[in-house]
Amino acid sequence: MSEWTTDDAEDLYRIQRWSDGYFGIGADGKLLALPNVGKQEVPIALQDVVDELLDQNVQFPVVMRFHDILKNRVKQINESFAAAIADFEYEAPYRGVYPIKVNQMREVVDEIVEAGRPYHYGLEAGSKPELMAVLSYDTGPEALTICNGYKDKDFLRLALLGRKLGRNVVVVIEKFSEIEPLLRLATEMEVQPIIGLRVKMRVKTEGRWSESSGERAKFGLTTSEILNAIRLIQETGYGDAIRLLHFHVGSQLSDIRFVREAVQEAARIYARLVKRGVPLTYLDIGGGLAVDYDGSQTIGLSSMNYTMDDYAGCVVAEVKQICDLEEVAHPTLVTESGRAITAHHSCVVMRVIGEIANDANPIATDPVDDEHILVTNMRDLLADLAEDKNYQDVYNEASSLLDDVLSAFKLGILGLEELARAETLYWRLLRAIAKGLETAEFVSEDLRHIETPLHSQYLCNFSLFQSAADVWAIRQILPVAPITRLNEAPSRNCTLADITCDSDGRIIEFIGEQSNRTALPLHNLVAGEGYYIGLFLTGAYQDVMGDMHNLFGRLNEAHIFCDPEDPTGFYIEEFVAGSSSGQVLNIMQYNPAAMAGQVKAMIDRTVANGQLRSREGVKLVDFYEACLSSYTYLLGPELGELP
């Protein structure tokens, strides 16, 4: 076998492909962040960030946020549309908005607003608290603020408050019954609203969010509702306010065909409404711009068959063609891309804290006196394997022998010790067959999965439910890769287990060459050395949808900026502490101070009874209090001994 190189690591983990160029591998086998893609002066080694955090006694897991990636994404989408508009001689601008539900973290929104300012990039809100966050940003006089989602009176009042301040706040009507209260409040507050209409699209999309369009969609107005809505709004004297036509056919549109079909349908509706005298000027095509999570560039659920440039080109070309045919002025184009803006910028870096393997701690299997024939037979199979190497025969025999061993144990014929010996020999046999198959020309379907029971589970210090909810909920594929040793051949086939007390808390599907793989090759753990792996593309939805399963709570966060003047290429601008045990307990209605008081009272009683020394009692009280204010995840020895 030729020597393992970083090219082999790239083939295996596909880092450049899924990361859209934001991550790569250094010659020294370190995983690098390249937030400015081609223009990265000094690449950032993730291990250097880990080392700096360890120096500052930061506990893992840590969310690493690369702010320059966010900036780059905002720039890219605006420049993609600008280029398409220039190319097709489209006669109106692009005015994108960022839907904050995708990641509402203040630092994330701050960065997007800053990066978007030169482009008049705006924000979108889908609930009252989101709108309150959005209204606190000054996005400039030309940017849009878009309100989607179901709205009550306060939501509408907040939107009109924004209008009072002179902002371009668009209230998108999702439901016919929102019209009357909106117009009444506008009259009451003496302010001109800007109204958008959400169309229920007929186009059928495919994928996980296909229910967002079609007749059964939750949001939007049917054609007759659109016509009735316009009539009602005009009759109330607000006809001038209808300015935007909106649709959203679902997230992660893997196939550009659906983008094209949806835009065609919407552009036609737009043009026909304009011809009926409705003063529309904005066409808002919602979200859906996908992320290539597995880097396969296909129409698979975790991928996409187009680029951001293709997307912009497709939208601009289709709208232009239909408006030109209909002889209607080109609308200002609005997108509400969220996933594509934030997914790349953050990753979760965690430490592998141990290994769970069936054959990790085997007992001795040397022949003993009075050994049961079933155990001896199993050992003989191992010897056969060394001689004739008919893997299929040996495997078949071993499998039925193992069944016999289990039956014999259940009937009380075999003891625990003999069961353990037979099983250990069986695992060894499987490993030997798996090793032999590596060089075999043909491997039967049966034998292809022989390794599954042999896969190690690497136990990782994180909660899947907090950091990658979609992996659990919708079997989303997220890229996983070690952040060092990429110049070294991995030697273990692993699945990943988290630290929650939930068997579902694991990752058992990974990016593969043709189809997904059920185990990921990783390196062996070395005592005394931390082995850190990254879970990538977590910046959209995953960062903010996590739940409190087992009360682990939010992660420590490092906000990282590029600094080409610094030899490491970065500086950590801010560190945000994750949840402490006291904080998560507080959310569940506990009062940490009272809890500490109760435990102290119990300890005092024990001391008074003479069962505990006073000195020891004080120490235990201090320890309990310290735990309330410390991190919920498992604490290191971060670089210390591995179990």
Ligand X SMILES: *Cc1c(COP(=O)(O)O)cnc(C)c1O
| CB nearer ligand X, residue 286 or residue 578 | 286
Nearer to ligand X, 254 or 463 (CB): 254
Q: Judged by CB, which is closer to ligand X: 24, or 539?
A: 539
CB of 334 to ligand X, least distance (A): 10
* Contact call for residue 148 and ligand X (CB under 6 A): yes
Rounded to the nearest 10 degrees, the angle between the axes of helix 308-326 and helix 67-87 is 30
Contact, 137 vs 112, CB < 8 A? no
Sign of the C-alpha dihedral computed for residues 149, 154, 157 and 158 taken in this order: negative
What phi and psi, each to the nearest 5 degrees, are found at residue 256? -65, -20
Nearest CB to ligand X, comparing residues 147 and 319: 147
- Residue 497 corresponds to which amino acid? A
Side-chain-side CA neighbours of 402 within 13 Å: the count stands at 15
286 is an interface residue for ligand X by CB under 6 A: yes
Three-class SS of residue 448?
A: helix
Does 122 interact with ligand X (rule: CB under 6 A)? no
Give the shortest CB-349-to-ligand X separation in angstroms. 24
Other residues' Cβ atoms within 10 Å of the Cβ of residue 505: 22
Q: Does 337 bind ligand X (CB under 6 A)?
A: yes
**Selected binder of ligand X within 339, 372, 506, 554 (CB under 6 A):** 339
The distance of closest approach from Cβ of residue 166 to ligand X in the complex, given in angstroms and rounded to an integer, is: 24
Distance CA 73, CA 341 (A): 5
336 near ligand X, rule: CB under 6 A: yes
**In this complex, which beta carbon is closest to ligand X, that of residue 331 or of residue 530?**
331
The count of residues interacting with ligand X (CB under 6 A) is: 14
Tokens of 303: 């991928």
**Which helix (H) or strand (E) segment is 557 a member of?**
strand 556-562
| CB of residue 18 to ligand X, shortest distance in Å | 17
Least separation in angstroms between residue 386's CB and ligand X is 56
Residues comprising the chain, all counted: 643
What secondary structure does DSSP assign to 467-500, as a single string?
H-HHHHHS-----EEESS-TTS---EEEEEE-SS
In the three-class reduction of DSSP (H, G, I as helix; E, B as strand; rest coil), residue 562 is classed as strand
Q: Is residue 287 part of the contact set for ligand X (CB under 6 A)?
A: yes
Task: Pick the stretch among 23-31, 334-342, 393-401, 529-537 that binds ligand X (CB under 6 A).
Answer: 334-342
Q: Which stretch binds ligand X (CB under 6 A): 1-9, 189-197, 330-338, 452-460?
A: 330-338
Q: Is 68 in the site for ligand X (CB under 6 A)?
A: no
Smaller CB separation from ligand X, 146 or 374: 146
> Residue 522: beta bridge partners?
492
Q: How far, in Å, CA of 269 to CA of 199, rounded?
A: 9
Binding residue for ligand X, selected from 288, 331, 490, 617, defined by CB under 6 A: 288
Residues 70-109 binding ligand X (CB under 6 A) are 99, 101-102
Out of 134, 289, 486, 558, the residue judged to bind ligand X by CB under 6 A: 289
Phi, psi values for residue 226, rounded to 5°: -60, -50
**Which is closer to ligand X, CB of 73 or CB of 523?**
73
DSSP states of 243-283 as a string?
Answer: EEEE----S-B--HHHHHHHHHHHHHHHHHHHHTT----EE
Q: Which is nearer to ligand X, 102 or 242 (CB)?
A: 102
CB of 344 to ligand X, least distance (A): 13
- The residues near 639 (Cβ < 8 Å, ≥ 6 apart) are 54, 528, 529, 530
Q: How far is the CB of 338 from ligand X (least distance, A)?
A: 3
How many Å apart are CA 114 and CA 222, to the nearest integer?
37
| Closest separation in Å from C-beta 628 to ligand X | 37
Backbone angles phi, psi at 609, to 5 degrees: -75, -5
Q: How far is the CB of 500 from ligand X (least distance, A)?
A: 27
| CB 123, min distance to ligand X, A | 12
State in angstroms the smallest separation of the CB of 172 from ligand X: 8
Amino acid identity, position 100: I
* Residue 116 sits in the site that holds ligand X (CB under 6 A): no
From the number of C-beta atoms within 10 Å of its C-beta (0-12, 13-18, 19+), residue 136 rates as exposed
Specify the pairing of strand 144-147 against strand 168-173.
parallel
20: left (phi over 0), alpha (psi -120 to 50) or beta: left
Of 379-418, binders to ligand X (CB under 6 A) are none
Give the nearer residue to ligand X in terms of CB position, either 148 or 467: 148
Which residue in 36, 168, 251, 461 binds ligand X (CB under 6 A)? Answer: 251
CB of 199 to ligand X, least distance (A): 12
Q: Is 580 in the site for ligand X (CB under 6 A)?
A: no
Let me know: does 632 contact 579? Beta carbons within 8 Å. yes
Among 162, 338, 482, 534, the residue binding ligand X under the rule CB under 6 A is 338
Give the interface with ligand X as residue ranges (CB under 6 A): 99, 101-102, 148, 248, 251, 286-289, 336-339
